[in-house]
Amino acid sequence: MSATILDGRKLSTEIREELKGRTRKLEEKGVTPGIAGILVGDDPGSATYIGLKEKAAGDVGIRSQMVRLPQDIKEEELLREIETLNADARVHGIFVQLPLPQHLDENRILAAVSPGKDVDGFHPSNVGKAWLGQQAFLPATPVGICEMLVRSGYGNLRDKNVVIVNVDNLVGKPLASILAQEKVGANVMLCHPSTPDLSTYTRQADMVVVAVDRPRFITADMVKDGVIAIDFGSNYIEDASAKTGKRLVGDLDFDTLKEKAEAITPVPGGVGPMTVTMLLANTVTAAES
Ligand code: GUN
């Protein structure tokens, strides 16, 4: 059996076309959806990521405003920048690119974003509402994973065992908060990459989600036949045949897993493109409301 490849680029293009329709409708009512991003410092990965968000926003008709701030900015100054964006009626969505420099208190910064503009879904109010099953902004990566599953015909997870190998606030915890709700009905387990005998759990999973940034961390012997395998890992490995000498791979041993899985996400071109798209979708939703 060869798995269905869940093509995040294709789905993303489809969703972005829908977003263009929604932004056109907003324009007819005199509303231009606006997103503001804050980048502190000059981490190259974050700079690339924020640039992608800026371009993608423009492509679907969202006005973007990226605020680039120095690495040594004082916390109070950053909080004032967030307050200015909170008060700006043209800005419907705000995100603070992570990670932040060490001297800044991430919890305090994320809690300063107005919950109604928190399109990243990182504000404690949105996190709490998500767990309570209430209407809230949810982080883009887990929403992107769910959207991919639904649009590919794998959205019914009732009574399915889902093992998530990631416990962070961006992926594992919010994904669990979605899938554990009664209306979805999945049996969810959060594991750490260091969990002893991890394969005891992953072998029982109907769906495995991994995001640990370790190449080929999940191998074919760790999963059962017909698993749905979702990968949000990002690793550059040496590859003499690649132009740059390096190649981007995820955390799944893709070549062997694709022979065993029912469906699988590639890296690149799987969950990654969905993440930016769902941030834009949250922004359009914020403008609509
Ligand atoms: N850094 C890595 N992923 C993300 C994300 O989804 N949102 C923000 N704000 N920063 C990130």
Q: Mean pLDDT for each consecutive 10-residue tract of the chain (289 residues)?
A: 94 98 98 98 93 97 98 98 98 98 98 98 98 97 98 98 98 98 98 98 98 97 98 96 94 97 98 97 97
Same structural domain for residues 60 and 34? Answer: yes
Same structural domain for residues 263 and 152? Answer: yes
Known catalytic residues are 53, 97, 120
Q: Which of 110, 132, 154 is the last residue of a domain?
A: 132
Residue 59: the pLDDT is 98
Domain-embedded: residue 172? yes
Ligand 1, atom 4: closest residue by C-alpha:
98
Same structural domain for residues 81 and 151? Answer: no
Residue 184: the pLDDT is 98
Q: Which domain holds residue 41?
A: 29-132
Atom of ligand 1 nearest to the CA of 170: 6
CA distance 226 to 220: 11
Domain-embedded: residue 165? yes
Among 234, 222, 224, CA closest to 198: 222
Same structural domain for residues 77 and 152? Answer: no
Residue 2: the pLDDT is 92
Same structural domain for residues 64 and 122? Answer: yes
Same structural domain for residues 258 and 186? Answer: yes
CA distance 177 to 60: 29
3-state secondary structure 231-262: ECCCEEEECCCCCCCEEEECCECHHHHCCCCC
Domain-embedded: residue 84? yes
Domain-embedded: residue 105? yes
CA distance 151 to 43: 34
Q: Which of 72, 97, 132 is the last residue of a domain?
A: 132
Give the CATH number, domain containing residue 205: 3.40.50.720
Residue 29: the pLDDT is 98
Same structural domain for residues 86 and 166? Answer: no
Give the CATH number, domain containing residue 74: 3.40.50.10860
Residue 241: the pLDDT is 93
Domain-embedded: residue 258? yes
Domain-embedded: residue 10? no
Do residues 54 and 64 make contact, with C-beta atoms less than 8 angstroms apart? yes
Residue 92: the pLDDT is 98
The preferred substitution site among 52, 54, 95 for testing ligand 1, maximizing ligand atoms within 8 Å of CB, is 95
Same structural domain for residues 182 and 266? Answer: yes
Report residues whose beta carbon is within 6 angstroms of any ligand 1 atom.
Answer: 95-98, 120, 140-141, 170
149 CA distance to ligand 1 middle (Å): 21
Residue 218: the pLDDT is 98
Same structural domain for residues 176 and 54? Answer: no
User: Domain tally for the chain?
Assistant: 2
Same structural domain for residues 117 and 183? Answer: no
Residue 220: the pLDDT is 98
Residue 198: the pLDDT is 98
List phi, psi (to 5°) of 176.
-60, -40
Domain-embedded: residue 188? yes
Q: Which of 101, 132, 163 is the last residue of a domain?
A: 132
Domain-embedded: residue 285? no
Same structural domain for residues 150 and 238? Answer: yes
Same structural domain for residues 145 and 123? Answer: no
Residue 96: the pLDDT is 98
Residue 8: the pLDDT is 98
